[in-house]
Structure 1
């Protein structure tokens, strides 16, 4: 049995071996709460795409690169529109209204996707009124933006993941952006028995994310054992459950909002994999 672990954004420059160990140590902690251990015969694959995505993102920003020349004149407007969409959804979930945003604005108070001052004010409001400021103030959606909106980058990341997947029964686990990458990869994966797709802290329920997925939305054909999605309701990345309202596919996704993620922003991988129910779900999929 294969276990594929797909990490999220902002992992560039990290040691892949150490990051994999962090995931596994945390998963083992969650399993121990059930009196369980990771099965000995599991082939664990941790496709580290963080450095590749970072390099591709930097290439897009370089006006002297081929990618930068192609993108020049179009990427900034698309980027601002994407930021406006995703940050507005996060602010709505955090119950931050336009007045709270407007009180923090510097410059013109006009609301809109092309007003960088308004977007910055949303970031400040999230930093002031929610635990998720670190995510936003670092302008940390750029790598998410380029993956979702630039097909050449999406194709390279997807191929990198696809090339790492061995044959045989497989369980997929995707965290954060990794759940989006996993969804796209699984749509391309033919002839493979995916026993379960497990997503944690997934932003797939966000309209700003769904707008950049292939439509119609559908259960990846390779997934034979169902899809389980766990999230913390205080996690502003995973603010919408993957239910029939936000991610209507057949068969439907099993959602669980029980997680109490103890990391600072309620989104960290440690706060998900050490959850007893999430760990049990992974174990059951591996041993079914």
Structure 2
């Protein structure tokens, strides 16, 4: 949100913090003690850095975000192939980034941009690696680790200590259990637990909280059972569902997700079963 001219106010910066020349600070920004803001950083209106926060690289942070102590935002990718290219990190509005969180800029050979949506919550020591794309209203609990090139859809919730393999996709409204090892794609609305991660059903509670109607939830339940009918291959099951002509709404989201190109296989209820 951009404030009207009459309500705009200069940033408040603690004298112990260092703001490099070139940094852009929006209205009503508050920077607490012992912070460092780099020369390519843009902080939107009403951003607050609590204390001991580092924001560096070509990083933009949307209005209303709060960043807690010891977070390091916008450092270069943790990748041996990074050669100092000018890549970026873009964070949306109203995100809360708790203690010790790290987020990296992108790699030049993969689009050069890491993105985070609006209204998301990153609990202590969670990590967003280079070229990740995280949607809106996402929650990463403590110590969640996203490797490079991971895609996380809107309203995903990830339990503490979960780890996601590079290039993995997690569909919107999915739920990932604590300490889960996510090495394959997780369908929208899916619930995954364990190491290795296995689908354990659907995130019905998350769907209800998102306002999805009962008819759509029942349709997703039926399709889930049909897709993962272990008597026939998943691709055959998908073809049969399409032939029935009922691929609409939430069901279409799941089918489109499975049909999309991916570097990873598809998580299923059976260990070792591949898409």
- Please confirm whether the aligned pair reaches a TM-score higher than 0.5, indicating the same fold: no
Higher normalized strand content (fraction of residues): 2
Kindly indicate whether structure 1 or structure 2 has the higher relative contact order, using CA contacts under 8 Å at least 6 residues apart: 1
TM-score by length of 2: 0.26
Structure with a larger share of its residues in helix? 1
Q: Which has the larger radius of gyration?
A: 2
